[in-house]
Structure 1
Amino acid sequence: MSAGRSGKRVADIEPSRLALLNTGAVEAATLTECLAVDFATLMQVVLPEIGEDAVGAMREAAREGISRRMALAARLIHERRGMADLAKLRCHASDTVRGWACFMVGVAKDHTLAERLALIRPQADDLHFGVREWSWMAVRPYIAVDPEDAIARLAGWTAEPSERLRRFASEATRPRGVWCAHIGLLRQSPEKALPILEPLQADPAPYVQDSVGNWLNDAGKDRPEWVRSLCARWSAESPMPATARIYKRALRSIDRKD
């Protein structure tokens, strides 16, 4: 999960601020604050009916990585409450709780990819950086299973007014990605993602540009000549700063090898 840099350590967070985070009264402002949240305490406050066994399981997992704890929280909630709390959690003041809602979409049974994408859409467009990262991570396993279906469905998101939704289409389909399984089909045949990439070649938002550049940087580790050719064509078709920024980011790993 990416976020703005912070020089703080967890121990540097004021106790009063940490108490607000742990009771779900405020959003985390930095990655450090995201990592500092006590999931067991937060779960007990937000879902007092969840049961002590769930809270205890969350407490036992306190030393696990945050991605595992997010997924565990969602499983515990889903096992005991189904999807009944999804609407409540997805609009909660706490970004961590809204992250649990993301992973509930991931753990829910008997949903098609189309249904999962529809359910994750509010979190993909969330104002908080962390929730947006959890949104694509939560559905990434299903995208990896059927990337061609995902590309066909997400291609339409590239025309959305929200840069956050446009970025989701790119970030969720990266061939290698971060903290997620690779998508073998797109490593071998990145051209299959052109329905998503082409509309974003000169996107005005740096947030989207960086994601597209990272997508192509991933692809360049397996298909460098394809990436070079695509970037050259885009530069000719769209000779503007947005495309140049994507081009530079896309070729950074390839250029280091040369």
Structure 2
Amino acid sequence: MTAQPMSRQRRVLLDAGQAETTHLAEILAVDFARLLGSVAPALPAAALASMGKAAGSGITVRMQGAATLLRAHALGDAAQWREHRSDTVRGWACYLIGSDPRLSLEHKLDALRALADDGHFGVREWAWLAVRPHIAAEPLRVLAHLQPWTADASANVRRFACEALRPRGVWAAHIALFKQEPQHAQGLLEALCCDQSRYVQDAVGNWLNDAGKSQPDWVRALCACWQQCHADDPANTHIRKRALRSL
């Protein structure tokens, strides 16, 4: 289905930070320079101009760029932005946390937990993308920290534990270790292999589909084991189907 053209009124609301986006096309269409000017009027014109020049850059580059500008002008307290009405602004809060040099990796993850449970799908993605370079650099450290999150009451948090560590990603740095040795994450995947949330099921299936591009035999073997143990579980059946869709 083709998205309907955005009305001028709708664009004005998004660029003013007075509304949330509803789909990816709107997320990509937000004018970051105008939005920054609306929500942070103390920013100098030169800062807004530099953001405007970056309009042709990729979305993750612009997200980090906005966070960098806010921090450079003493507006880098994520608490100031993480409750904002605009999902894009809440996404900047994710990037402020992810790039905060004062925080350890574990503290960054903990600070992102509430944003990982945000009501907006886009913010939940920014929550892990904002810290993904650090995750890719130290995946086993992150794996150990996120393992307990697989038992969280929120499906969003359980999904974050899986999605943040997936071996590949369209907008994300790959995790070389998990591409070659996905077995390191088997305990985390086992904890979620019969999760009742379709959101989590899709994340586990996508994780395994990623791994299957470089270690197909391991994915097939794990799915075969799950089929024996969980043959009658519809959640696990869905995960296995999604995991094996490219094999």
TM-score by length of 1: 0.92
CA distance in 1 between counterparts of 2:142 and 2:123 reads 20
The aligned amino acid for 2:188 is I
Cα shift readout 1:76-125 (whole Å, capped 9, x = no counterpart)? 111222633x1121000000000111111122113211011011111111
* Partner in structure 1 of residue 3 of structure 2: 8
Q: Tell whether 2:189 aligns with 1:197.
A: yes
* Partner in structure 1 of residue 39 of structure 2: 46
* Partner in structure 1 of residue 157 of structure 2: 165
Assess if the C-alpha contact under 8 Å between 2:193 and 2:236 holds in 1. Answer: yes
Assess if the C-alpha contact under 8 Å between 1:171 and 1:177 holds in 2. Answer: no
* Partner in structure 2 of residue 28 of structure 1: 21
Aligned-pair CA distance for 1:139: 0.6
CA distance in 2 between counterparts of 1:118 and 1:80 reads 25
The aligned amino acid for 2:230 is S
* Partner in structure 1 of residue 224 of structure 2: 232
TM-score by length of 2: 0.96
Q: Tell whether 2:246 aligns with 1:253.
A: yes
Q: Tell whether 2:65 aligns with 1:75.
A: no
The aligned amino acid for 1:152 is A
CA distance in 1 between counterparts of 2:234 and 2:146 reads 25
Deviates more, 1:166-175 or 1:62-71: 62-71
Assess if the C-alpha contact under 8 Å between 1:24 and 1:42 holds in 2. Answer: yes
- Structure 2 segments unaligned to the other structure (5+ residues): none
The secondary structure found in structure 2 opposite 1:61 is helix
Choose which of 203, 206, 210 in structure 1 pairs with 2:198: 206
The aligned amino acid for 1:8 is A
Assess if the C-alpha contact under 8 Å between 1:71 and 1:100 holds in 2. Answer: yes
Cα shift readout 1:35-69 (whole Å, capped 9, x = no counterpart)? 12111111011111122121111111112221111
Task: Give the % identical residues.
Answer: 49
Choose which of 208, 221, 227 in structure 2 pairs with 1:216: 208
The aligned amino acid for 2:127 is S
* Partner in structure 2 of residue 123 of structure 1: 115
Assess if the C-alpha contact under 8 Å between 2:67 and 2:76 holds in 1. Answer: no
Aligned-pair CA distance for 1:14: 1.0
Instruction: Report how many aligned residue pairs link the two structures.
Output: 246
* Partner in structure 2 of residue 96 of structure 1: 88
Q: Compute the RMSD of aligned alpha carbons.
A: 1.2
- Structure 1 segments unaligned to the other structure (5+ residues): 1-5
The aligned amino acid for 2:20 is E
List structure 1 segments (4+ residues) > 6 angstroms apart after TM superposition.
none
* Partner in structure 1 of residue 129 of structure 2: 137
* Partner in structure 2 of residue 183 of structure 1: 175
* Partner in structure 1 of residue 56 of structure 2: 63
Assess if the C-alpha contact under 8 Å between 1:213 and 1:250 holds in 2. Answer: yes
CA distance in 2 between counterparts of 1:185 and 1:119 reads 25
* Partner in structure 2 of residue 17 of structure 1: 10
CA distance in 2 between counterparts of 1:243 and 1:110 reads 40
Assess if the C-alpha contact under 8 Å between 1:200 and 1:212 holds in 2. Answer: yes
Aligned-pair CA distance for 1:228: 0.8
CA distance in 1 between counterparts of 2:10 and 2:107 reads 37
Assess if the C-alpha contact under 8 Å between 2:99 and 2:131 holds in 1. Answer: no
